[in-house]
């Protein structure tokens, strides 16, 4: 289940964005993004120790649409997004919400993070990098915390 945490990062980093680079000719995402990516993810909540874990990201691309299922750490959620090329930035007025029950320092049932901005890039050596952010709530003290995440991986 922890492996799915970063899937949100990949989906959100592509969500409602326009990209460039790679084989992007304005007609869609670089097909090299398609498939399973294995790597390391880091999730940090302000004031708490970062959580680093092995992770897998699954991306499916068809033209200018990319899809991710099981987007949240608990296996819920799915995301569809539009874009092109091999890099993207996004902001989203309405966040994607996921439970934080799997986060070691925030195991409260009602704790969650809203992811609402991020970026994605596929380097020339085919390393996928995803960064994302938002805010976490419900970690026991009643305050909102900045939340950031990063995934780096390869096929």
**In this structure, what token pair is assigned to residue 113?**
């993070």
Nearest C-alpha neighbor of 123 from the set 152, 150, 149: 152
Summarize pLDDT for 109-151 with one digit per residue, the tens: 888 888 888 777 889 999 988 888 889 999 877 889 999 888 8
Domains (ranges, CATH) in the chain?
A: 2-154 (2.40.160)
**In this structure, what token pair is assigned to residue 57?**
């990201």
Residue 94: predicted pLDDT: 64
Summarize pLDDT for 83-98 with one digit per residue, the tens: 789 877 776 766 778 8
Summarize pLDDT for 38-85 with one digit per residue, the tens: 888 888 899 999 988 888 888 888 887 776 665 556 556 666 666 789
Query: Residue 103 and residue 99: Cα distance in Å, rounded?
Result: 9
pTM surpassing 0.85?
A: no
Nearest C-alpha neighbor of 154 from the set 32, 13, 22: 32
């Amino acid at each position: 289940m922890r492996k799915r945490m970063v899937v949100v990062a990949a989906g959100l980093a592509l969500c409602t964005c326009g990209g460039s680079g790679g084989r992007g000719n304005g007609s869609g995402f670089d097909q090299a993004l398609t498939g399973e990516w294995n790597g390391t993810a880091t999730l940090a909540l302000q004031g708490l120790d970062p959580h680093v874990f092995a992770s897998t990201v699954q991306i499916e691309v068809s033209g200018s649409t990319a899809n991710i299922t099981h987007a949240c750490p608990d296996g819920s959620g799915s995301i569809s997004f539009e874009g092109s090329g091999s890099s993207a930035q996004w902001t989203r007025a309405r966040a994607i919400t996921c439970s934080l029950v799997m986060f070691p320092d925030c195991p409260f049932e009602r704790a969650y993070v809203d992811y609402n901005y991020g970026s994605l890039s596929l380097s020339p050596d085919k390393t996928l990098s995803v960064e994302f952010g938002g805010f976490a709530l419900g970690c026991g003290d009643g305050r909102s915390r900045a939340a950031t995440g990063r995934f780096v991986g390869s096929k």
